[in-house]
Amino acid sequence: MKILIFISLLSMSLFAHKLNLFTDYEDGTLYINAYFANGNGCQHCDVKIKSLDGKILNQLKTNKDGEANLDIKNKKFIVIVDAMGGHIARKVISLNDDETTIENKNNKNLIIKSDLQKENEKLKAKVKLLQQELQYLNFAKIIFALLVIVGIFYFLKRVKK
């Protein structure tokens, strides 16, 4: 019975520290965003940019939000984020000429930067609100987990008698 409880508790936290890696390439700049499964950024994590043959092209660290920016000219490379403790995320990036140069042949495809900035401000406000809600939800999950543990011990005590 104890083993079953231990395995179930262990399985609930398997993905709690999974490291996710998101990259975007625009105008010669590589934008890197590393975050854990709970949405928290990978703070001050090591980021290595390697060529396909394993040579280190650049090394940097993420900021407090788990973001890093880098100007890069290579077309094919590997991004490796190391959060220590065995949490590593890798992504092979292969760019073609269409992705590295932006050509706006039609005026329909033009997006005005001020519109993007306005939209970005709206999204940032929503993200802050969601982060606050997530904090409240995390607190509720902690309380629920403690109640479950107390209930399990109560049940085990009743079964022993």
90 touches 77 (CB < 8 A):
no
Cα 6 to chain centroid, rounded: 28
In the three-class reduction of DSSP (H, G, I as helix; E, B as strand; rest coil), residue 32 is classed as: strand
Question: What is the pTM assigned to this prediction?
Answer: 0.53
Q: Please state the length of the chain.
A: 161
Distance in angstroms (rounded) separating the CA atoms of residues 43 and 112: 32
Amino acid 141 reads K
Percentage of residues in the chain having pLDDT higher than 90: 10
pLDDT tens by residue, 69-121: 888 888 888 899 888 777 788 888 887 755 443 333 333 344 555 667 777 87
115 DSSP 8-state letter: H
